[in-house]
Amino acid sequence: MNKLQALFIVLLCSACFTYAQKPSRIGYVDMDYILSHLEDYKVASQQFALQVEQWEAEIAKRQEKIKAEKEKLEAEKALLTPELIKDKEEEIALLEYNLNAYKQQKFDAKEGEYITQKFMLAKPIQDQVFNIVQEIGKMRKYDFIFEKSDATMLFSNEQHNLSKVVLRALKKKDNAEDRNKDMAQLLKESYDFEFVEERVKKRKEAEKAREQRRVQYEQERLRKTEEMKQQREQLKAKREKEQAERQQKFQQERDALKAQREKEQAERVQKFQQERDALKAQREKEQAERQQKFQQQRDSIKVQRDKEQAERQQKLQEQKEQREKEIAERQKKLEEQRVQREKEQAERLKKQQEAKTQTPTTNQ
């Protein structure tokens, strides 16, 4: 049982005890009924609903972006370095943090813009209803007028419902005189009023009590409003402080993580450079050894080739000398043959000459 229910029961019991010898005047108003029949409130509610839809659309858009970033990271994770993966995960975490902050800003149960704007949307009408209820209470000498949603009503007679009177009075807001006449007429049509003499007699007492209740109600309302305002400010300051601390902690963790990664990166670069220098030196050494071995092989091949070439040249020279010797022998042999042929030819010529010489002598 909440405070309003307890207050309602206490006041009702007090009324029954105080006015045991006479009936108490009790009425109630239904704020939901009144608001649902006001065009200005309907239009403002529709505009507010559009604003809420825009907030929800923005939240959905951010959620889709986070989902897309997660899917993209999952698809590319095999191709990324651990540092890039950490950066991507931090970006996604920041997007999720901003999304939660946006949700809290718009739809927080105590301090969200949804609750605040919805309250401010109905507050001007609630203030007008309060003033009209005060007028009705004074005009008709009501002992209590409750708001339906604030009190536990298991049953209520419709004749105690002042919602239609208040609604018509709200619609007559441009003309106070017409509004008062209309309220009086409605009240007269709806209820059996007491005699005028009795109302006049009771008015002073009722007005005094109502004034006291009004002052108490106003003081209580102002106190609750101030408490609510202080609570909102304290809660807002607490949230801002917590958010600043979270952001500071997040930034410190991010800076520390960044410094750690930079240190690890520098160590890896240094280690890689050392390994690279060692590998380069090893390769240069191996290359020098290969060049030396190649040069030795090349020199050995050159010596072998020079030796073989010298042997071939010597062999060719020997073959040349042999051919020249053979040519000289053939030439010598040919010369001897020529001399022999010439000698034989000379002998034949000599014989022929001798034969010619002998023949004439014989003829003589």
On the question of pLDDT at 335 being above 80, the answer is: yes
On the question of pLDDT at 210 being above 80, the answer is: no
3-state secondary structure the chain: CCHHHHHHHHHHHHHHHHCCCCCCCEEEECHHHHHHCCHHHHHHHHHHHHHHHHHHHHHHHHHHHHHHHHHHHHHHHHHCCHHHHHHHHHHHHHHHHHHHHHHHHHHCCCCCHHHHHHHHHHHHHHHHHHHHHHHHHHHHCCCEEEEHHHCCCCCCCHHHECHHHHHHHHHCCCCHHHHHHHHHHHHHHHCCCCCHHHHHHHHHHHHHHHHHHHHHHHHHHHHHHHHHHHHHHHHHHHHHHHHHHHHHHHHHHHHHHHHHHHHHHHHHHHHHHHHHHHHHHHHHHHHHHHHHHHHHHHHHHHHHHHHHHHHHHHHHHHHHHHHHHHHHHHHHHHHHHHHHHHHHHHHHHHHHHHHHHHHHHHHC
On the question of pLDDT at 364 being above 80, the answer is: no
Per residue in 80-124, pLDDT (tens digit) is: 889 999 999 999 999 999 999 999 988 887 778 888 888 888 888
More confident residue, 358 or 76: 76
- Residue 152 has what pLDDT? 64
Q: What average pLDDT score do residues 344-348 get?
A: 88
Which of 38-52, 127-141, 163-177, 254-268 shows the lowest per-residue confidence on average (mean pLDDT)?
163-177
Q: What average pLDDT score do residues 40-54 get?
A: 88
Which of 45-59, 79-93, 144-158, 303-317 shows the lowest per-residue confidence on average (mean pLDDT)?
144-158
- Residue 60 has what pLDDT? 94
Q: What is the pTM of this model?
A: 0.41
More confident residue, 4 or 104: 104
Per residue in 119-157, pLDDT (tens digit) is: 888 888 888 888 888 888 888 788 888 887 765 666 777
